[in-house]
Amino acid sequence: MKKLLLQNINYLVTMDEKRRELEGFSLLIEDGVITRVEKDIQAQPEWEVIDAGEYWVFPGLVNTHHHFYQVLTRSWENVQQAELFPWLKNLYPVWARLTPRGVVASTRIALAELLKSGCTTASDHHYVFPRGQDSGLIDYQIETAREMGVRFHPSRGSMSLGEDEGGLPPREIVQKESEILEDSLRLINSYHDPSPYSMCQIVLAPCSPFSVTPELLRETAVLARQYGVRCHTHLAETRDEDDFCQKELGMRPLEFMEKMGWTGGDVWYAHGIHFQDEELEVLARTGTGVAHCPVSNQKLSSGVARIPEMLEKDIPVGLAVDGSASNDGSNMLVEMKSALLLHKLYWGIDSMSARKVLEMATLGGARLLGRPDLGSIAPGQAGDLFMVDRRRVGYAGAQSDPVTALLTCGDSFQSDLTIVAGKILVREGKLVKFAEEDLHREAEKESRTMLEKG
Ligand SMILES: [Zn+2]
């Protein structure tokens, strides 16, 4: 049985039921699961031991919305002044050149950035399946996440409503409903592991009301519930989406999704910005969740989500970096800082705190993904956490409150050690199993090919 002991932790933020923050405690992980959090744990000779006397320790962060493949089109000059719809229309033809090699290279980079910023569980929403291309793109992602050791919730995204039928995406990247549903079922049967401490759970995720047909939404929800997997999609991201739904469907986005069977504790939406008062009540009543993406929402000028009100109403809210082309990074620590500052600015000084944001990024994310075994540090919880060296230059003068310091200070926004299922995947701020320069080279090559072909 493999055991890892963190000894004499300077400051341990547990996010447990009592939200305890402990000084001078030790923590034992056995076979990937936390078994003891105590004042003194005597190390045994065969255990791996980390002296945590100079470290702040936090539960592993949970990222609840991403599009890894967009790593290859980050900071692309042609879309820097575009809001969502024109941004998408410019990028679709480039994304139509996505290959399996591109998927592997971008998945590696996104997961590397997430791990290096304290994220231990990643969700991805992959919805681009170019015509004529290998359709097993999510299989490559799953294999890559397994290699890297990250807990992974891949979403089988989809687009079925092409431009010629009134949708937004071009024909070359939309698929037939039957093909999508068949592949969704294949992925569930091949990879979905519902057991506690699972490393892979499949999610079904038609892309948005403006890129899929009502039939696909309805049938996807039925399939998901038949197999006990979660449902995810983009919703209430922009005013353009409101207009599209009113014009094409004759109702507002949430009303439409409700009619399609897309509300409930097993559903979470990315963004959730433009909800009206009565729509927040629907979310609260049905337990439907929201993945909050503050950096992307600012960058695309989409709007400010009503997160403080959602938290008051106990609507499940998690944090997310969103796709790499609208962020344009995958750094969860930066995302937390952005969430804190955005809400303070927009809703008022008392509307948000560092601890509320950390809760969103840990327990909140775990709730969206249906993972009671994640998001906190306590006996019986998965052995997922990250550690920050309090001696870094950026934390000088900020030792009185490590939680606030994590979000507001720091000169790097990097984790020093990231541990998933008891395995050390980042040490001294660097990936343990991969040479970062190799990952960079590989992704650069794929990115150039994709951008230059056009
Ligand atoms: Zn997105």
State the helix-helix crossing angle for 436-452 and 100-116, rounded to 10 degrees: 140
Question: What's the 291 CA to ligand 1 centre distance in angstroms?
Answer: 10
Q: Which two tokens stand for residue 105?
A: 């290279």
Average pLDDT of span 286-300: 97
Question: What's the 66 CA to ligand 1 centre distance in angstroms?
Answer: 6
Other residues' Cβ atoms within 10 Å of the Cβ of residue 75? 11
Rounded to two decimals, the pTM is 0.97
Question: What's the 67 CA to ligand 1 centre distance in angstroms?
Answer: 6
Q: In what order do the strands lie in the sheet with 203-206?
A: 61-63, 119-126, 151-158, 203-206, 230-235, 267-271, 289-292, 317-319
Question: What's the 427 CA to ligand 1 centre distance in angstroms?
Answer: 30
With H, G, I as helix, E, B as strand and everything else as coil, classify residue 319. strand
Q: Which two tokens stand for residue 448?
A: 């150039």
Average pLDDT across the chain, whole number: 96
Confidence of residue 132 (pLDDT cuts 50, 70, 90): confident
Domains of the chain in start order, with CATH, are 3-59+375-429 (2.30.40.10), 61-368 (3.20.20.140)
Please return the burial class of 255, using the count of CB atoms within 10 Å of its CB with bins 0-12, 13-18 and 19+: middle
pLDDT digits (tens, 9 = 90+) for 252-284: 999 999 999 999 999 999 999 999 999 999 999
Q: Which two tokens stand for residue 145?
A: 């996440």
Confidence of residue 454 (pLDDT cuts 50, 70, 90): low
Alpha helix ranges (H) inside 100-176: 100-116, 137-148
> Do you know the residue count of the chain?
454
pLDDT digits (tens, 9 = 90+) for 359-377: 999 999 999 999 999 999 9
Question: What's the 404 CA to ligand 1 centre distance in angstroms?
Answer: 28
Question: What's the 39 CA to ligand 1 centre distance in angstroms?
Answer: 43
Contacts of 254 (CB under 8 A, 6+ apart): 235, 236, 263, 275, 279, 282, 283
Question: What's the 442 CA to ligand 1 centre distance in angstroms?
Answer: 24
User: On the CB side of 406, how many CA atoms lie within 13 Å of its CA?
Assistant: 30
Alpha helix ranges (H) inside 268-364: 277-286, 294-299, 307-312, 332-347, 354-359
How many Å apart are CA 171 and CA 163, to the nearest integer?
7
Residue in the structure block whose two tokens are 């009503």 = 306
Q: Which two tokens stand for residue 334?
A: 């930066």
Question: What's the 94 CA to ligand 1 centre distance in angstroms?
Answer: 17
How many Å apart are CA 207 and CA 158, to the nearest integer?
6
Question: What's the 11 CA to ligand 1 centre distance in angstroms?
Answer: 35
Confidence of residue 133 (pLDDT cuts 50, 70, 90): confident
Average pLDDT of span 302-323: 98
Whether residue 205 is predicted with pLDDT greater than 90 in this model: the reply is yes
Residue in the structure block whose two tokens are 């979905």 = 192
The candidate with the shortest Cα–Cα distance to 232, out of 187, 202, 210, 259, is: 202
Question: What's the 246 CA to ligand 1 centre distance in angstroms?
Answer: 21
Whether residue 302 is predicted with pLDDT greater than 60 in this model: the reply is yes
